[in-house]
Amino acid sequence: MAMAVPKMRFAPPQILAMGYAVMVLIGTLLLMLPISNTTGRPLPLIDAFFTATSAVCVTGLVVVDTGTFFSTFGQVVILVLIQIGGLGFMTMATLFALVFQRRISLRDRLLLQEAMNQGSVEGIVRLIRRVLYYSLAIEAAGALLFAARLAFDMPFGRALYYGIFHSVSFFNNAGFDIFGDFRSLTDYADDPIMNLTAMALIVLGGLGFIVLSDLADFRSKKKLSMHSKVVLATTGFLILLGFVVILIFEWSNTGTLGRFGWNGKFWSAMLQSVTPRTAGINSVDLTALHHSTQFMLLILMFIGASPGSTGGGIKTTTFAVTIGAMIAMMRGREDVVFFRQRLARERILKALTIILLALALVIAVSMILSATEDHDFIVILFETTSAFGTVGLSLGLTPELSTFGKVMIALTMFAGRVGLLTLVYALKPKKSTEKFRYPEGKIIIG
């Protein structure tokens, strides 16, 4: 007898979109409280909304300095929003259900399936348990490493607090920092411990929990899935490409790498190549980068992290599938093949759809902001792409945005975190079944 699926009032994409919206609303109300900042006055609604959206969408774009403007209470609110936004509110809800030994219903499993971008509900609760274990373990390790290094520069209690905040922020690819004056990691540009810890947190958070779970099982299974292989290969290629390009273009730029020795050049170039995985931290002045380097970072931000991760962007697999389809077409082959396995046609169409939707969003928002904001177009395009990819890297535009501009960037962050296809499905969840197929026609391409 077939098991009946409980009927939902809202489709999973709608519930996910509404869930993130509710988190933004709660965060906005909390950040507006006078206790949340050091001035003792309520934060303006638009600034509280923007900051809450940036935290829930794990972006890191800010209109006020997190380290000096917000009080400890406000910073903790931001930290909690980052953690919930990075892991997903459904994952956090599952945590409470597991703690209180509540049964995970089929409805909940369907929501988790949508949230983790899985093909079925099979093994979804097991995956969520691993997500929680891995996240807490990695964040704890990162916090201890940060605290041990920062203890040389500040009291241990403060160093531990800084370590926890930045470990959670970097692992969730949020990019928020509390060093003050928008400094990020510029004071530690040539510090191997700070850079290695930050890069490890960013990469592990950006690979995706599916890949982390696959890697954890590698010792017993002795093999990786095609998905994990593609993610690892693409991530490694993009990091190496970004590192080489940044090193070449910025080697003699006295405003960036030119002021460092070999050690500083290496760590700074490597961190700036890793951070477009949607982390949003920097160890050099981004406004001093050559336009060619800024455009390279823009491309890396657009690609972003991997599916099922804490990052945004079109995702590494979408980029890889599109490149694979192009190569297959150029070679006259029908199938896109990775690691001796071919991809289904609908996967290719989905990748193309995501890229076109993302391009349409970034172009439309950039065009609108170019008409409302008095800044160079490369700065506007960079900020918009950073918002869509939930990266948080900035050329200084965000604090100077108009109210309309803040709303546009906030909505772009929301779309980038929830996912464009999820938003499309949320607006039109019902699938229409084709009663018939039209006769095939021909059109000239190229």
What pLDDT digit, counting tens, does each position of 123-165 carry? 566 777 777 888 889 999 999 999 999 999 999 999 999 999 9
Q: Are 272 and 283 within 8 A, CB to CB?
A: yes
Residue 439 binned pLDDT confidence (cut-offs 50, 70, 90): confident
Residue 272 maps to a domain: yes
Lowest-confidence pick of 74-88, 210-224, 312-326, 361-375: 210-224
Look at residue 431 in the predicted model and tell me its pLDDT.
55
Q: Helices (H), strands (E): how many in the chain?
A: 19, 2
Whole domain around residue 422: which residue ranges?
Answer: 119-426
* Spatial separation of the C-alpha atoms in residues 388 and 364, rounded to whole Å: 12
Look at residue 18 in the predicted model and tell me its pLDDT.
79
Look at residue 4 in the predicted model and tell me its pLDDT.
45
Which letter does DSSP use for residue 327 in this model?
A: H
- What is the pTM for the complete model shown? 0.87
Provide the percentage of residues in the chain whose pLDDT is more than 70: 83
Residue 49 maps to a domain: no
How many domains does the chain divide into?
1
Residue 141 maps to a domain: yes
Residue 437 maps to a domain: no
Residue 48 maps to a domain: no
* Spatial separation of the C-alpha atoms in residues 94 and 197, rounded to whole Å: 29
Residues written for the chain: 446
Bridge-partner residues for 70, per DSSP?
Answer: 37
Tens of pLDDT along 409-435?
A: 999 998 888 777 666 655 555 555 666
Look at residue 132 in the predicted model and tell me its pLDDT.
82
Q: Scanning the structure block, which residue is given the tokens 């080489």?
A: 244
Residue 26 maps to a domain: no
In this predicted structure, the answer to whether residue 290 has a pLDDT above a threshold of 90 is yes
Residue 69 maps to a domain: no
